[in-house]
Amino acid sequence: MTMIKTKHGFKAILSSVVLGVIALFGINLFSSFTGVSIGVNAVSIFVSCIASIPGVIMLLLVNTMFSI
């Protein structure tokens, strides 16, 4: 995650967290169409908040690699 120096640092961090959570729930919203879902638990929410959209992509990749 790249943070650009701005006067509004808190706003940038908050928008990153919101984008990550929206991406996580968006993946699960469309899981009936795509067949891909991520379990919503404390770890996945933490990763999506800290790493935003790249974190959700990482969760998708890990989920696809280790799915049975």
Cα–Cα distances (Å) from 12 to 5, 8, 9, 26, 48, in that order, read 9, 6, 5, 21, 15
Return the residue matching tokens 């995650």. 1
Q: Which pTM was predicted?
A: 0.80
CA 29/CA 7 separation, integer angstroms: 34
In tens, the pLDDT along 19-48 reads 999 999 999 999 999 888 898 999 999 999
Share of the chain above pLDDT 90, in %: 62
Mean pLDDT of the chain: 87
